[in-house]
Amino acid sequence: MTMHGLIMDYQLNLPSVLRRAEQLHFDREIVTRLPDKSIHRYTIGEMVARSKRLSVALQKLGMESGDRVGTFCWNHYQHLEAYMAIPCGGGVLHTLNLRLHENDLTYIATHAGDKIAIVDDVLWDLFDKFRAQANFKHVIVVRTAGKPLPPGTIDYEELLAGVDPAEFKYLDIDEHQAATMCYTSGTTGMPKGVLASHRAIVLHSMASGMTDTLGLSEHDAVMAVVPMFHANAWGMPFTCLLIGAKQVFPGPHLDPASLLELMAQERVTVTGGVPTIWLGVLQILDDNPGKYDLSSIRAIVTGGSAAPRSMIEGFAERHKLHMLHSWGMTELCPVGTVGTIPARLVGQPKEKHFDFQIRQGRPCPGVEIRARNENGLVPWDGQSMGELEVRGPWIASGYYNRPDAATSFTEDGWFKTGDIVAIDEYGCLHLQDRAKDVIKSGGEWISSVALENALMGHPSVAEAAVIPSNHPKWAERPLAIVVLRNGKQASPEELIDFLRPQFAKWWLPDAVVFSDSIPRTSAGKFLKMALRDKFGDYYCEQAAKQPAT
């Protein structure tokens, strides 16, 4: 017979995080840059009081247990208030991605069944494009820029002012209840809704704060550049509240100079964003030596797409700034692995550290990984490639109302990520590609990401994407699309020669096409689908042009 432990059945829920923040971390600061670039500053204590008001107000507007409340906002303090107010009142926080097309947003808001929306005044025109097709019963407007209130909407501040925070009751919410909902941004088909439970978020916050993960403490000042409307800003708002770290929100100002000013001024210690943001920041730092005092920064977390080695080395060597590589997905709340330097590398030459840092790191406690190809599970030898499968307490077990998406899970309940990886003997992940982007040349796999990153190490290359292009003989061959740096030149032969020492001969692109820019997704990743539409038949077309011999 099983002998159960005699331990309380304490619910891991967001009300417990809110209560802890109120009792223990009330004096820590929350800083926001407003649309007019002025700074708003208040404490966690004030934030909790306002969050409670919002929670009660939403309930009075009809938010019942399980109701979805959409947010359409930048990163700022009111969004943080909503992050806690909605789930603590029993609702489901549904972050809508403002960079998506209105057709996608209509689909997402309708599919999710959002009942109430909270919208920034500066985003009203975008919101207005899909509002009528969705089915919001109430629309609340956060007037971050003091714009006039659109007719038929509710002013956020007036709503809060009309509520007595004493009416707020800490609910003992069942930890399995849904707390947040976030749709994958659809680079891989129709957007799918990920529903995270309270328990998943609390455990994710605990694990991502740990020393060998992001290593956060009350002493930190954390700036999430990654949007709160995309993968919950990597969970940073929740993790920071649990731990009591100061939070800094950049509002709508995401250009590199504005970010650098804010980091210096607020003595930010940890910040996180996609590589595209950091490439821009590195450029400004290189162009303005000594202008920004970034001595407070302990880690620049990069994730969301592959980080070129030249960027990681550039920050370290030229600016003494440490990049921390992380891999995650919306389906993982979203952090899965983090590249904290392992004990075995201490004292090793810096080259070895860089070799490690370009990889995606090891799974956080709680996450298990494995990879599989057509021959079964692949060995952890750092070479064999397979599709990454994961499981753990904050990993999706299905998608909201999408029974057709059951194919994303294995029979024994692991989630199939669609990422092609190699795993080394220490359990460190080396992401090679997305399954749909990997190049299948003559039955072998070529990593487009490895080629792209190497190309971006060439001094004349600003950006590079490598795609599979159909080939009459090899099925697919790699084709490089390259954006040159301003005023720089390079020939296709020179770029291919540059890659030659780093790769097997059959990995090298057969051709390089120059372009002015590379199209991006809403999250700033290369939109390879658009490139494949344009160049997917490049080699077949070239072959057809050759005179028959």
Establish if 325 lies at the interface with ligand ADP (CB under 6 A): yes
Strand order in the sheet with 138-142: 154-155, 138-142, 116-120, 68-72, 92-95, 178-183, 193-197
Residue 414 known to be catalytic: no
**Bridge partners (DSSP) listed for residue 465:** 481
Establish if 419 lies at the interface with ligand ADP (CB under 6 A): yes
Residue 445 known to be catalytic: yes
Question: Can you give the C-alpha Rg of the chain in angstroms?
Answer: 24
Q: Work out how close the CB of 332 gets to ligand ADP at its nearest, in angstroms, rounded to a whole number.
A: 8
Q: Name which position in 329, 451, 467, 481 contacts ligand ADP (CB under 6 A).
A: 329
Residue 187 known to be catalytic: no
The helix (H) or strand (E) run that includes residue 211 is: none
d(CA 506, CA 500): 10
Stretch that binds ligand ADP, among 61-69, 166-174, 304-312, 404-412 (CB under 6 A): 304-312
Residue 352 known to be catalytic: no
Phi and psi torsions of 300, nearest 5°: -105, 110
Q: State both tokens at 184.
A: 């994958």
**Cβ–Cβ contacts within 10 Å for residue 483, how many?**
16
Report the Cα–Cα distance between both ends of the chain, in Å, rounded.
Answer: 79
Establish if 330 lies at the interface with ligand ADP (CB under 6 A): yes
Q: What is the DSSP letter of 191?
A: -
Stretch that binds ligand ADP, among 164-172, 262-270, 326-334, 471-479 (CB under 6 A): 326-334
d(CA 36, CA 313): 35
Establish if 232 lies at the interface with ligand ADP (CB under 6 A): no
Choose the catalytic residue: 153, 180, 184, 340: 184
> Can you tell me which residue has the tokens 């407003």?
34
Q: Work out how close the CB of 97 gets to ligand ADP at its nearest, in angstroms, rounded to a whole number.
A: 9
The helix (H) or strand (E) run that includes residue 64 is: none
Choose the catalytic residue: 313, 331, 463, 476: 331
- The phi-psi region of residue 443 (left if phi > 0; otherwise alpha if psi is between -120 and 50; otherwise beta) is left
Stretch that binds ligand ADP, among 43-51, 107-115, 180-188, 503-511 (CB under 6 A): 180-188
Choose the catalytic residue: 445, 507, 521, 525: 445
Q: Work out how close the CB of 527 gets to ligand ADP at its nearest, in angstroms, rounded to a whole number.
A: 10
Q: Work out how close the CB of 8 gets to ligand ADP at its nearest, in angstroms, rounded to a whole number.
A: 35
Scanning 44-155, the segments in alpha helix (DSSP H) are: 44-60, 77-88, 102-112, 124-131
Q: Name which position in 15, 237, 250, 328 contacts ligand ADP (CB under 6 A).
A: 328
Query: What x-and-dash track marks residues 434-463 binding ligand ADP by CB under 6 A?
Result: x-----------------------------
The helix (H) or strand (E) run that includes residue 4 is: none
Choose the catalytic residue: 147, 320, 440, 488: 440
Of 59 and 357, CB closest to ligand ADP: 357
Establish if 250 lies at the interface with ligand ADP (CB under 6 A): no
Scanning 113-197, the segments in alpha helix (DSSP H) are: 124-131, 156-161
Stretch that binds ligand ADP, among 41-49, 113-121, 328-336, 346-354 (CB under 6 A): 328-336
Q: Name which position in 91, 244, 273, 304 contacts ligand ADP (CB under 6 A).
A: 304
Q: Work out how close the CB of 276 gets to ligand ADP at its nearest, in angstroms, rounded to a whole number.
A: 12
- Count the alpha carbons within 13 Å of 1 in the hemisphere toward its beta carbon: 3
Q: State both tokens at 240.
A: 């920071």
> Can you tell me which residue has the tokens 């005179």?
547
Q: Name which position in 303, 386, 509, 524 contacts ligand ADP (CB under 6 A).
A: 303
d(CA 84, CA 71): 12
Query: What x-and-dash track marks residues 188-207 binding ligand ADP by CB under 6 A?
Result: x-------------------
d(CA 505, CA 353): 27
Q: Work out how close the CB of 275 gets to ligand ADP at its nearest, in angstroms, rounded to a whole number.
A: 8
Scanning 409-527, the segments in alpha helix (DSSP H) are: 448-455, 492-499
Cβ-closest residue to ligand ADP? Answer: 185
Q: Name which position in 144, 213, 360, 470 contacts ligand ADP (CB under 6 A).
A: 360
The helix (H) or strand (E) run that includes residue 531 is: helix 528-535
Q: Work out how close the CB of 121 gets to ligand ADP at its nearest, in angstroms, rounded to a whole number.
A: 27
Site for ligand ADP, rule CB under 6 A: 184-185, 187-188, 231, 303-306, 325-330, 334, 360, 417, 419, 431, 434, 523, 525
- Residues classed as catalytic: 184, 331, 440, 445
